[in-house]
């Protein structure tokens, strides 16, 4: 990865971690799921409002590192107004691209989310990036 791309990715992660989108409790959520990473202490609760198998609103609360915060912010933007199955497919693809060598996150059609590619160089931080997506899968599993 060239230095210009690394700088762009770093800036995107910082933007989402400093000014996260949808960071609040969703009082009338149809589903929620709390997940903790015991290795680093990241804690996230994801809230979903769902109507006719479409995510109409997604929010989160978190006490976590900047990578997890940025990932949660990106997740809420990605899955809002998407169908549950499409959200699950996207989450699975993202998680697999971060965990599996040889899989590229560049195939995901979201430039902000592609910024998470940098965590592949730091295996201990991969869970920070995947935690919100795993929480999403946990929340929708209660709806299916």
46, containing H or E segment: strand 43-51
Neighbours of 6 (CB within 10 A): 14
Contact 74, 105 (CB under 8 A): no
User: Average pLDDT of the chain?
Assistant: 91
**pTM above the 0.85 mark?**
yes
Q: What is the pLDDT of residues 68-126, one digit of tens each?
A: 999 999 999 999 999 999 999 999 999 999 998 877 777 777 888 888 988 888 899 99
Query: Measuring CA to CA, how many Å separate 36 from each of 7, 74, 101, 112?
Result: 29, 18, 25, 24
Measured between alpha carbons, how far is 38 from 18 in angstroms, rounded to an integer? 23
């Amino acid at each position: 990865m060239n230095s210009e791309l690394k700088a762009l990715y770093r800036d995107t992660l910082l933007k989402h971690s400093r000014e996260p989108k949808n960071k609040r409790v969703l009082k009338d959520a149809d589903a929620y799921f709390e997940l903790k990473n015991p290795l680093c202490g990241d804690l996230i609760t994801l809230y979903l409002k769902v109507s006719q198998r479409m995510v109409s609103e997604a929010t989160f609360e978190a006490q976590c590192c900047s990578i997890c915060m940025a990932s949660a912010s990106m997740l809420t933007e990605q899955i809002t107004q998407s169908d549950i199955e499409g959200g699950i497919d996207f989450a699975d693809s993202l998680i697999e691209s971060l965990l599996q060598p040889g899989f590229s996150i560049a195939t995901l059609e979201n430039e902000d989310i592609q910024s998470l590619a940098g965590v592949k160089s730091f295996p201990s931080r991969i869970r920070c990036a995947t935690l919100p997506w795993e929480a999403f899968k946990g929340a929708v599993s209660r709806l299916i």
